[in-house]
Amino acid sequence: MEKNPSFVKNGQYLSSPRSPPSDTINDTFYRRSRSRETMDDDWNHVQISHDVDQFITTLSTFDDKSNPPDVPDYVETFSRIVESRIDKYNQSEINRRFGKMMEEGQFFIEAVTRISKLANAFSKFQPSASTSPAFNQISMVLQRSMAFLEEEFRSLLEDGKNNSQSNSGNFFKNSSFNYKYQDRSNQGETSSGDFPGYSSEVVTKMNKIASTMISAGYETECCQVYSVSRRIAFNEQMKKLEFEKIDMDDVLKLQWETLEGEISRWIRVVQTCSGSLFPGEKKLGESIFTGHPLIRRSLFTNLARAVVIQLLDFAEAVSMAKRSAEKLFKFLDVYETLQNLILAINDSCSHECEHELTSEIAASGDRIGESAVSIFCDLENSIKSDVAKSPVPGGAVHPLTRYVMNYLKYACEYKDTLEKIFEKHAKLEKSVPMSSNLSSNDIEKESESPHNFETVAITTPFSIQIVTVVDLLDANLEAKSKLYRDPSLRYIFLMNNGRYILQKVKGSTEVGQLMGDTWCRRRSTVVRHFHKNYQRETWSRILSCLSHDGLQVNGKINKSVLKERFKIFTTTFDEIHRTQSTWVVSDEQLQSELQVSITAIIIPAYRSFLGRFRQYLDGGKVDKYIKYQPEDIETLIEGLFDGNPTSMGRRRT
């Protein structure tokens, strides 16, 4: 083998059949002393790039690592061209001229890539007097190139947003697109505008720089610039959302009204992160680090972890806040927000970190869920402890009934979430699906009632909890009904509240699905039962006045008894009307049903009695004993259950 074989001999290229003739390119030509500016204009970039590629290929296939080939002069010249580009790009007056030539920027990237390949190829040979100067020069040029690209990368990341004709960066100035890089949230309220806000052109520039730096072995520097810049940008977005980290102790000291506002703010922040910011970061990383999924995932993971930790600190503090019934819905909002955050993290982080982060978020959600379960179960204790000493005026719907049923209605709007929470709670308790306050004996007793668990459409831990609450409410209302001395008013009270409960169940799709049609039919039967009992207690006295029994003595009408009957009827009806006009039936349909049923009982009986026995009264004294005509009675019945107009208005359901 010839020692130190050269790839340029007597002005001729030995390894490239495509090389130009010796009279156009030779050693003397390469050694010409010219300024860097003149070099840029004279050299044929395409040809010299081709020659360098050929030399890189030769170095890569050269077997004798201890005896490297001679380095052609055009390698040194090529490195000088690259240096000259860096110098020009750093001069503002050149920037303006260079900004008009897209191919110059592309040439620089390709040239730096060749410098990197040259450095890598030289590094495989043992240092020698012939190669060390070239290698040192190439290494120096490579370092300058990487430093320049690093600064260019930083400039594009920090100043290249929302500007399709960005002045940031010193090359790739040409723009042929004005497409905003963005990822809008499909949740309108969580959109953060065009985020991250880079044009397609800028993203393409950053992709080329990142790929060049990574292939040259400068992955750490590239990732550090990207990570720092994106964290700063993300923190700016968080500030725009008015998110500030709050110490856990300070959160626990807040009054609920203030904490409620902070929770709402936190939810908006997390929703924006889940719906816009994180997806935007993921897409940006995928676009810049194409072909490097591990790097992209690692960068996103580091950013996401720093943000998520701050968000979870607040959620943890909320889970430890003092619990009360009115806080349930905010707790559920926090829980759902955390579930959406898990979805945003999935498929974006590395597998290991994804599991780590989602596990932390899920654990925080579980603690919020346990708080929600505790709050909901406390509703049972609230119902049991609500002991009234005086009845609601007029037998109206009790405030407790309104509160509980509206509470259940709003709670069931979170049905899917509560189903998950109670299911998980039941598994953690390793018990049969039941309320935390019920024993198996309790369930056996409940199964004997008309409202037992078998009437529920779908038996789940949460649906059983709902039925338990309604049954406890029924028991409480039954106890409260005994505060009324008048049995008729007692049934009006039970009818009002029973009808209200039924209407609330039917009026809510979610509650209705949980309770089921069978439960609703049985509840309707119970309300009708109260209705019949009311009629019996109230109007049986009126019907007894209209009885024919005892009116005849020896086959003749006893006028004195008849007169007394008319008198008792009038007195009794006046008393009922006076009293029950102050009673309240706020459900218009129920009120109408009551009035129609009363009319159907009283009017035919009264009309028949009047037609049969009126003739036996003294002609001139009929009006003395007959105060009302059937039409008058019907009109007065229509005025029942309106409440006392001077002290009680109609109540809304």
pLDDT in tens, 633-643: 999 999 899 87
CA distance 407 to 378: 13
Contact (Cβ atoms closer than 8 angstroms) between residue 537 and residue 491: yes
Q: What kind and span of H or E run contains 83?
A: helix 73-89
Partners of 9 in beta bridges: 12
Is the pLDDT confidence value at 158 over 90?
no
CA distance 626 to 563: 9
pLDDT of residue 338: 94
**Is 455 or 233 the better-scoring residue by pLDDT?**
233
Nearest to 444 by CA among 434, 430, 436, 431: 434
Place of tokens 């070239």: 134
> What is the arithmetic mean of pLDDT over 456-482?
89
Task: Kindly state the tokens that stand for 158.
Answer: 């920090």
pLDDT of residue 62: 67
The DSSP result for 598-619, as a single string, is: HHHHHHHHHHHHHHHHGGGS-G
> What is the arithmetic mean of pLDDT over 30-52?
53
Is the pLDDT confidence value at 450 over 60?
no
Q: What kind and span of H or E run contains 111?
A: helix 102-122
Contact (Cβ atoms closer than 8 angstroms) between residue 299 and residue 223: yes
Partners of 553 in beta bridges: 556
Contact (Cβ atoms closer than 8 angstroms) between residue 164 and residue 175: yes
Query: What is the chain's length?
Result: 653
pLDDT of residue 38: 44
Q: Is 438 exposed, middle or buried (0-12, 13-18, 19+ CB in 10 A)?
A: buried
Contact (Cβ atoms closer than 8 angstroms) between residue 546 and residue 569: yes
pLDDT of residue 447: 35
pLDDT of residue 414: 93
Q: Are strands 556-557 and 8-9 parallel, antiparallel or unpaired?
A: unpaired
State the CATH class of domain 546-637.
mainly alpha
Q: What is the pLDDT of residues 281-337, one digit of tens each?
A: 999 999 999 989 889 988 998 999 999 998 999 999 999 988 888 899 999 999 999
Nearest to 183 by CA among 72, 328, 384, 348: 348
**Range in 149-158, 446-455, 531-540 the model is least confident about:** 446-455
Which distant-in-sequence residues (6+ apart) come within 8 Å of 350 by Cβ?
294, 297, 298, 301
Q: What kind and span of H or E run contains 9?
A: strand 8-9
> What is the arithmetic mean of pLDDT over 1-11?
35
Is the pLDDT confidence value at 626 over 80?
yes
Contact (Cβ atoms closer than 8 angstroms) between residue 467 and residue 380: no
> What is the arithmetic mean of pLDDT over 181-210?
66
pLDDT of residue 499: 96
Partners of 557 in beta bridges: 552
Which distant-in-sequence residues (6+ apart) come within 8 Å of 102 by Cβ?
172, 173, 174
CA distance 611 to 603: 12
Most confident of 4-13, 44-53, 468-477: 468-477
**Range in 152-166, 186-200, 407-421, 537-551 the model is least confident about:** 186-200
Beta-carbon-side half-sphere exposure of residue 650 (alpha carbons within 13 Å): 10
Give exposure, 345-366, as e/b (b: 16+ Cβ within 10 Å): beebbbeebbeebbebbeebbb
Mean pLDDT of the chain: 78
Place of tokens 């081709």: 50
pLDDT of residue 614: 85
> What is the arithmetic mean of pLDDT over 235-258?
86
CA-to-CA separations, 388 to 72, 306, 376, 492, in angstroms, rounded: 103, 53, 22, 18
Contact (Cβ atoms closer than 8 angstroms) between residue 469 and residue 404: yes
Is the pLDDT confidence value at 10 over 60?
no
Confidence of residue 426 (pLDDT cuts 50, 70, 90): confident
486: left (phi over 0), alpha (psi -120 to 50) or beta: beta
Q: Are strands 180-182 and 12-13 parallel, antiparallel or unpaired?
A: unpaired
Is the pLDDT confidence value at 521 over 90?
yes
Which distant-in-sequence residues (6+ apart) come within 8 Å of 601 by Cβ?
535, 539, 543
Place of tokens 């060390």: 132
Residue type, 511: V
Which distant-in-sequence residues (6+ apart) come within 8 Å of 389 by Cβ?
483
Q: Alpha helix (H) ranges present in 386-398?
A: none
Nearest to 71 by CA among 136, 1, 28, 134: 134
The secondary structure of residue 180, as a DSSP letter, is E
CA distance 372 to 374: 5
pLDDT of residue 394: 93
Nearest to 172 by CA among 210, 140, 209: 209
Which distant-in-sequence residues (6+ apart) come within 8 Å of 292 by Cβ?
210, 211, 214
Nearest to 627 by CA among 560, 573, 558: 573
Place of tokens 């008792």: 568
Is the pLDDT confidence value at 143 over 60?
yes
> What is the arithmetic mean of pLDDT over 412-421?
93
> What is the arithmetic mean of pLDDT over 69-76?
70
Q: Alpha helix (H) ranges present in 482-508?
A: 487-507
CA distance 566 to 587: 34
Which distant-in-sequence residues (6+ apart) come within 8 Å of 110 by Cβ?
49
The DSSP result for 409-443, as a single string, is: HHHHTTHHHHHHHHHHHHHHHTS-SS-TT--HHHH
Q: Alpha helix (H) ranges present in 187-292?
A: 200-215, 219-240, 248-253, 256-272, 278-288
Confidence of residue 252 (pLDDT cuts 50, 70, 90): confident
CA distance 252 to 272: 25
How far, rounded to the nearest angstrom, does the alpha carbon of residue 456 sit from its chain's CA centroid? 29
**Is 653 or 60 the better-scoring residue by pLDDT?**
60
